[in-house]
Amino acid sequence: MRFRATIPAGLLSLGIALSVHAMPSIDFVNRDDSLSSYSDAHCVATDAHGQRYAVAAEKHDNVSSVKLARLLAGNAGRYTIECTLVPDRSKEAYISKFDAVKFRSGEPAHGAPEYDENQFGYGIKIPLSQTHSNCYDPNTRLMQPRCLDAFYGTQRYFLEPLSANLNVRFNHSMEYTSNVGVFLKDNPRHLQGQREPRTDRATTSITSPFQ
């Protein structure tokens, strides 16, 4: 899939750096510079009509990568994505979720730094519910224990997704990026063999990304 760099109208005025980017993708970064970290890595995208598209990650030097152009294979619009990773020498599966969009070049209120050969642009974002920062309660100025329980889970590792620059505009919003990286990290809850105590002050619940 070939991409070309394009500067959407209005993005420069927003101060967005539009250097040449990697192909829009979800990158599962290998641990400790190893040549391989995952025995299985794949993603399933679901469009607004419930149609599902599955793609296995391609292994490269230091990542297993899923290209958005292959994954978002249906019509333009919004997608939800669920990715499953199984580390080498492990039977545990880890889940990471994303929201994504696909749109044609030239559509009003939309813009991407690059478009594919069919003139489609792609964007992806990490839902707030999948982030560590979602567990902060500004009223109590404390991290919510139940939220942290759901974020870390109980397995040996946990997944930490990180977003690149927000360089994709969809319906005037700059909430999307071309690329996200997903890191498999040691779970501090698992290593310590204990959890933080629950408290009734934890008022916000999230869907665990590790079910």
d(CA 72, CA 25): 11
137 part of a folded domain: yes
210 part of a folded domain: no
| Confidence label for 180 from pLDDT (cuts 50, 70 and 90) | very high
Residue 71 has pLDDT above 50, yes or no: yes
Amino acid at 7: I
The pLDDT value given to residue 207: 37
Where is pLDDT greater, at 197 or 87?
87
d(CA 147, CA 204): 7
The pLDDT value given to residue 33: 66
199 part of a folded domain: no
Amino acid at 210: F
198 part of a folded domain: no
- Specify the number of domains making up the chain: 1
203 part of a folded domain: no
CB 120 within 8 A of CB 107: no
d(CA 184, CA 95): 11
Task: For CA atoms 192, 198, 204, 206, give the dihedral sign.
Answer: positive
CB 208 within 8 A of CB 187: no
Q: And the tokens for 51? A: 């149609």
The pLDDT value given to residue 178: 96
The pLDDT value given to residue 197: 45
Instruction: Decide the pairing of beta strands 25-29 and 179-186.
Output: parallel
Q: What is the pLDDT of residues 90-111, one digit of tens each?
A: 889 999 999 999 999 999 999 9
200 part of a folded domain: no
Residues contacting residue 102 through CB under 8 Å, at least 6 positions apart: 68, 72, 74, 75, 76, 77, 79, 120, 121, 122
Is residue 12 helix, strand or coil? helix
Q: What is the pLDDT of residues 1-12, one digit of tens each?
A: 555 544 344 433
197 part of a folded domain: no
Where is pLDDT greater, at 67 or 195?
67
Percent pLDDT > 70 in the chain is 79
As a whole number, mean pLDDT of residues 40-68 equals 95
68 part of a folded domain: yes
Domain membership of residue 111 as a residue range: 3-192
Q: What is the pLDDT of residues 111-166, one digit of tens each?
A: 999 999 999 999 999 999 999 999 999 999 999 999 999 999 999 999 999 999 99
d(CA 22, CA 180): 11
